[in-house]
Structure 1
C-alpha cells in the first residue's frame, strides 16, 4: 500500500534535529545566565555561544572537517561543554575519552575511534607522553593548559585551547546536514575484553534531551529538574555525555556549575556557594560526599540528586533523606544514551512513610516517554508485571546506539531479536515500576532459587555500622552457589561478621528474603574494587576473593 506522504512548500524549512538547535531557547530566554567553572571562571550563555564559534574556527584551522573525529581529555569544565556543542555542530564527531582507563586502553580507544585531533588537559600530559608513539591516527595535539608547571614532555602541541579561541573569529556558519549524522563516540567500561565503542547521532541526542527534560519536569513535586534549578554534574562528562544532563541544562537555560576534578571539599563548597540544587552521580560518590567533614556544615535541603550507574542502596537513601536531599534512582547504560527510567513518586502518592519513600526512591523507576521496555524469558516471552516474575530487560527507544563501532558480531548480540539487550535482570510491579534484581553475569542461583545480590546489598546497607557492601556468588558443591558479603565498616564502627549475618537473617525470618539469600560468609574488608566510573567491579572481587572463600562456603 502506498504511503500518503504530505506535501511541503518548496520554501519550507524541514528543521533537522541537530544539536545546534538546542541553543536557540537559552539564547532567547536566558542569554545572561551564568556558567561557572570551579567558582573561579564565569561566563554567560551569550559568551559561550561566541566561544563555541571560536572553537569551531580554531579546529577548522587545524584541519577538522565534516566527519573528522576530535577526542577530548579534560575534567568537567565549561570547555567540555563547549566541545559538546562546537564539535558535533561542525559535522565532526566528538570522542569523550575516559581518562580513568589504563594508558593502553586510552591509546586503544583513541586509535579505534580514529581521532585525528586530541585536546588534552595538562594533568594528563604524562599519560599522553607515555603513549604518544602508539597513537596512530592523531595528527594534531591541542593543549588545555591549567598547569602551574609545564613539566617535561615530548608532545608536539600545535596550539593551546584558550590561545586558539582568542585568535579565532566569533562567527561561524554552522551548516545544516542530515540529522542522522554521527555526533559522539565513547567507549564502554566493561570488566571483560577491550572497551567497545558506542555512538549517537544528532537526532538521537536531541530526542534524548527533549524526552529527558519532559520526564524530569513532569512530577507534581519532588524529583524534578526545572528552570529555577542550579545544575552541577558529578558524573564525568566523558561518561555517556554526563547522562545527557548538560544538554538538558543548556536547553533549559539554567545556571550551570562545573567542578573540574572531583574533590569532596570543593564539591561541597560549590553546592553551598553557588546554590546547586540538582546533581547526579553514582552511589559511591554521594556516599563519599556525605562522609566528608565539610558536608556536615552545608545545608543540603534544596539538593536533588539522581543516583545511577548501580543500585541505590536503602541505607544510602535513608542517610540522604536524613540530610534533606531529594534523592532518587535513575537507570540507563552506555548503550542507551543513557536515560531509560527514573524513580519518581507518582502524583497523589507523596505522603508516604519513610520506609515506603525509601522503597520507591530506590526502585529502578518508571520508563521515560518513548521507552518501550520489556522483561523477557530466554525465549523472548514477556514476564508478568506482578513484581515477582523476572526476566532480562530489553528495550527500544529512538536514542539507543545502533551497534558497537566496528564490531559487527557484538552488535548483532546486542540487538538480537530487534530489541537492545541490557543484560540486566529485573521485574515490573503492577504500578509500572521497574526493579533491577541483578546483572545477568552477577545473578546468584542457590538451592535452586535465584538470589538478588542487589537486594542483599541494600538490606546490609541498612545496618548502622556499614559503610559499603558488595555481594558476590561463589561456587558451592551442595547449593550450586552461595552469596558472600564483603563489607566495609564505617570509621570507628565495631561490628562483627556474625552481627552482619544475623542482621540479614532477621529479614529471612520475617519472610522478606529467602533463606538461601542469607550469606554464610561475611568478610570485613578495607575497601571494594570499583570500575573507572565508580561501579562495584564484581568480576575483580570474585577473582580476588573466590579462591580464599570457596573452601569455607559449604555449610
Structure 2
C-alpha cells in the first residue's frame, strides 16, 4: 500500500516554523512583562515588538534585503535580543560576530560571511574603524552608543535615533522555514574559524525542545515564572538558544552587558534572577564574588556547559544553595544535545550524575562508535566517538566542502568527543579526541584526571595536557591555579592519583610528570580553558619538580 496523506481544506493555513512565530504566544500572555538591560533600560514585550518593527524599517532603509548578512558586535543587551528577531524576520541572515577573536579573525569572519551592514557597540568602534579598509563588503555601520554620545562620522546613524525615526508598522511576511536565519563561526582552536549556519526551522525546533525541564526526574525546569539572565555571550551559539526560549515563554529577561561579577550579582538580587547558564569559569567568578560580598545564591538554577563541570565545582555551588545541572552541545549543534539529571534509582550523591553530559533530549539520536562506525557496548565503560543526529544540526561548514564532508561522514555528525554510553542512556564525555593523552600505549582521559585533582583543597582551576616524551610518546602535565594563600605540590596531586590507580579508576600512567603553578589560565574567546595554547606553551617537557 502507498503512503496516505491528509486532504487539506482549501483555506487551511500552512504555518511555517519561522522565528517570527516564537513571539505569537508571549505577545498575548506577557505583553506587559519586562526586558531589562543593566540599570539603564526597561521595556515591555509590547514595546519590544514595536521596536522590532522599527529596527526592520531602519535596516530596510539602509538597504537590508532578504538573504543579506547583517553582523552584530555588542555585549548582551536588549538590542542584541532585538537583532536575534528582527534581522531573521525580514529574511536577512544574522551574523553574531565573536568580538573576542583577534582583530584579523574578526575581519576574516565578517568578510567570509559577506556582511554588508554592521551594528557596532561603542566599545568595538575603534576595532571596526581600524578594520574598515579590510571590510570591502560593508556598506553601512550603525553605532550602538549606549548613551548620549554622538556616533562617529562614518556611521550611518545611531541605533536608538534610527529606531526613533523609523516606522513601527513594518509588515513582516511569512516565508520558507528552511531559509537561513543565522551564521557564526567556531572559535578557531583547531585552525581558521569555520562557519556554521542554522535555518528558521532548526532554531524553532531547538527552542521547543530546549523548553523541556532541565534535569528532569522531578528537578525543576525553566518556566514562565522564572527570571532569565544569560551568562553565555550572545555571540556564542545564540547564547545556547535560550533567549529564543525565554521570549517564546514570555518570561522576564535581564541582560548584563559586559560581564562584571558585581553587576551580575546586583542584577540577580534586584531583578530576582532565577535561571542562567554559563561556562565553568564564569560560575567560578560568580562564586568568588558572592563569597567576597556575602551574596545569597540560593535557588539560582544554572545550566553549565562549554566544558566539563567538575564535581568539586558542582559541590561548591550546591553548598551555596544553587541548583546546577550540566548540558552538552557544540557550535555545530545549536547547541543542545544532552542534559544531566539525577539517576532513577537515586543515591546518596547526585553530584556524579549531575556533572555527566546527561541524557539525550527529545529528537536527539546518539551513538558511540569505533573508527569503523560500529557501536561500542553501552556499558558505561567502552569508549568511542560520540556521533549524533537531530533536526537542528548545521548541515555544513559554509564554504568548506571538505570539512563538511568530514563532519557528516557516514550520515552522522561527528562530535570529535570521546564518550561512553550506559544502558540508561547517560552520556559521559571522557575527552576531546585532540585532548586525549597517549602514553605507554594507553589513552588517558584528561577530563577524568582534572576532576580528581580539582577535588583537592587549595585548587581553584586545573587543566591536564599531554606533553612530548622521548620514550612514552606523551606524559600528563598538570597546570594549576591555586586558591590565594594555598600551596599545591606535585606530591599532593600524585598522592590523589595514586589512590585512584590503586583502586583501578585510572591507569598507572596517570601519575603526573610535572606540575606547573600559574596565576591565570589562557582562555578561548568563549571562556573555555585553551588547551591548545597550553600545549604550545609546554611543548618541551619541563623538569619534574616536587
Tell me the TM-score normalized by structure 2: 0.97
1:142-168: per-residue Cα shift (whole Å, max 9, x none)? 0001267669x6x61111100011001
1:22-58: per-residue Cα shift (whole Å, max 9, x none)? 0011111111111110033111111100001110011
Give yes or no for contact 2:450–2:464 (8 Å, CA) kept in 1: yes
Give yes or no for contact 1:501–1:522 (8 Å, CA) kept in 2: no
Q: Does 1:454 align with 2:452?
A: no
SS in 2 for 1:547: coil
Range with bigger deviation, 187-196 or 77-86? 187-196
What residue number does 1:176 align with? 174
Give yes or no for contact 2:515–2:544 (8 Å, CA) kept in 1: no
Give yes or no for contact 1:66–1:91 (8 Å, CA) kept in 2: yes
CA distance in 1, matches of 2:216, 2:76: 29
What residue number does 2:503 align with? 510
What residue number does 1:157 align with? 155
Give yes or no for contact 2:117–2:141 (8 Å, CA) kept in 1: yes
Question: Structure 1: which 5+ runs fail to align?
Answer: none
SS in 2 for 1:124: helix
What residue number does 1:421 align with? 414
CA distance in 2, matches of 1:215, 1:402: 27
What residue number does 1:121 align with? 121
CA distance in 1, matches of 2:216, 2:386: 25
Give yes or no for contact 2:70–2:94 (8 Å, CA) kept in 1: yes
1:234-280: per-residue Cα shift (whole Å, max 9, x none)? 00000000000000111111111000000011001111111111100
What residue number does 1:376 align with? 369
What residue number does 1:141 align with? 141
What residue number does 1:199 align with? 197
The equivalences for 1:64-75 within 5 A come to 64-75=64-75
The equivalences for 1:90-129 within 5 A come to 90-129=90-129
The equivalences for 1:291-310 within 5 A come to 291-292=288-289, 296-310=293-307
What residue number does 1:239 align with? 236
SS in 1 for 2:115: coil
Give yes or no for contact 1:290–1:296 (8 Å, CA) kept in 2: no
Report the Cα offset of residue 546 of structure 1: 2.0
What residue number does 1:313 align with? 310
SS in 1 for 2:146: coil
Of 358, 382, 388, the residue aligned with 2:351 is 358
What residue number does 1:334 align with? 331
SS in 2 for 1:48: helix
Report the Cα offset of residue 548 of structure 1: 4.4
Give yes or no for contact 1:376–1:394 (8 Å, CA) kept in 2: yes
What residue number does 1:82 align with? 82
Range with bigger deviation, 255-264 or 473-482? 473-482
Give yes or no for contact 2:343–2:350 (8 Å, CA) kept in 1: no
Report the Cα offset of residue 412 of structure 1: 0.7
Question: Structure 2: which 5+ runs fail to align?
Answer: none
CA distance in 1, matches of 2:124, 2:133: 16
1:426-483: per-residue Cα shift (whole Å, max 9, x none)? 0012221100000011111222222110010011110110000000012223333221
CA distance in 2, matches of 1:508, 1:325: 33
CA distance in 1, matches of 2:93, 2:163: 19
1:258-309: per-residue Cα shift (whole Å, max 9, x none)? 0000001100111111111110000011111111256642211110111111
What residue number does 1:528 align with? 521
What residue number does 1:10 align with? 10
What residue number does 2:45 align with? 45
CA distance in 2, matches of 1:168, 1:347: 55
Give yes or no for contact 1:268–1:295 (8 Å, CA) kept in 2: no
CA distance in 2, matches of 1:148, 1:477: 62
* Root mean square deviation of aligned Cα: 1.8
Report the Cα offset of residue 175 of structure 1: 0.7
Give yes or no for contact 2:326–2:339 (8 Å, CA) kept in 1: yes
Report the Cα offset of residue 139 of structure 1: 0.3
Report the Cα offset of residue 500 of structure 1: 1.9
Report the Cα offset of residue 509 of structure 1: 2.1
Q: Does 1:266 align with 2:266?
A: no
Q: How many residues align?
A: 546
Range with bigger deviation, 506-515 or 449-458? 506-515
Of 226, 231, 245, the residue aligned with 1:248 is 245
